[in-house]
Amino acid sequence: TMLILTCPAQLQRLEGALRRSLPLALPVHGAVMNINRGNPGEFEVVVDSWPDFGAVLARRSGEMPVDDCYRNTHAAFYRDVGAYRGLLETPGCLRWDTAFHIIGGSGGELGSTGEHWEHGTLGEPLVIWGSTRGWPLLTANPPRRLDPSVRVGSLSPSHVDLLNETWPYGGNSRSRRYLAELLRCFPNLCLQDGAGQPLSWCLTDHFGTGAHGYTLPAHRRRGHMQAVMVLAARRAQARGFFSFGHTATGNRPMQRLQEELGHQRLPGLCRFVLHNPGLGRAGP
């Protein structure tokens, strides 16, 4: 069975229930928080039953583009793998003729499920980072003193090409549209030089996740990313959100920075499971 939760009271209750299941429910919880605060990403949540649910899927509402797995990224949380499998297999839960990602909490049984999907592949495992001091993170470490010419600001839509070129998972027209959507709908933070050009930045996605943290190579080793991470965490807390993100397993510099900021590597790994029936097919 599958139920789409549309009642505000239901969604508020779901947010509270997911909060009690942190940190494994972080991506779904962030999506529900965004839905309950104006729904800028135009998402919805489906459950296998209500109010005693065993599985939750946060997905984009409305019509989905067929070959765009960037914009069709879902988040899953389940208490029972059988309920989760049953939810995904319910007609109408997923558009199996489209490309999509599903991101899970610990990546354990979620990965095993993904291995059996037709056209399904396991994406790169990512390290999940959160707080050692409870939820939300209260960052005690002040950022390193920066050059007086560096200013705190925000990215604008005009920076989308820079973001697309510097994102390891980007570089194409679909990723560009996705990044433009993040810029339009969700908070971001950047450090700028005296001319207003971005030096270092971090975005936020539909799930409240810190995304695309990057410093231009010529400006590294100056404490810029540390400052961005601390300031972004404080702004997230001010909005009631948690501070968390994903880091590639081979990205040791970012992992060390997270440790220095008091973040904790959470149990297990997170996997983005990709379903793409048109893999390899050219598209716009």
What was the pLDDT predicted at 267? 66
Q: How many domains does the chain have?
A: 2
Strand segments (E) across the chain: 3-5, 43-47, 55-60, 73-78, 100-103, 120-131, 151-153, 188-192, 198-204, 210-215, 245-248, 263-265, 270-275
**C-alpha separations of 67 from 14, 98, 278 in Å:** 31, 6, 7
**C-alpha separations of 182 from 67, 174, 186, 224, 268 in Å:** 19, 13, 5, 21, 27
What was the pLDDT predicted at 199? 96
CB 2 within 8 A of CB 93: yes
Distance CA 94, CA 85 (A): 12
**183 and 75 part of one domain:** no
What was the pLDDT predicted at 6? 94
Q: How many residues does the chain have?
A: 284
The verdict on residue 136 lying in a domain is no
The verdict on residue 141 lying in a domain is no
- Model pTM? 0.85
Residues whose CB falls within 8 Å of the CB of residue 159, separated by 6 or more in sequence, listed in order: 183, 198
Q: What is the CATH number of the domain that holds 259?
A: 3.40.630.30
Query: Which tokens belong to 35?
Result: 């839905």
**Which DSSP category does 127 fall into?**
E
**62 and 109 part of one domain:** yes
What domain range includes position 219?
151-265
Strands 245-248 and 100-103: unpaired
| pLDDT tens per residue across all 284 residues of the chain | 899 999 999 999 999 999 998 888 889 999 999 999 999 999 999 999 999 999 999 999 988 777 888 889 999 999 888 999 999 999 999 988 888 889 874 333 433 333 323 323 333 444 445 443 433 343 445 556 778 889 999 999 999 999 999 998 899 999 999 999 999 999 999 999 989 999 999 999 999 988 899 999 999 988 898 899 888 888 988 898 988 887 777 778 888 887 777 777 776 666 677 887 765 554 44
Distance CA 250, CA 149 (A): 33
The verdict on residue 119 lying in a domain is yes
Q: Residues 167, 247, 199, CA angle at the centre, nearest 5°?
A: 45
**23 and 87 part of one domain:** yes
User: Of the candidates 73, 75, 56, 72, which has an alpha carbon nearest to the alpha carbon of residue 64?
Assistant: 72
The verdict on residue 273 lying in a domain is no
What was the pLDDT predicted at 143? 57
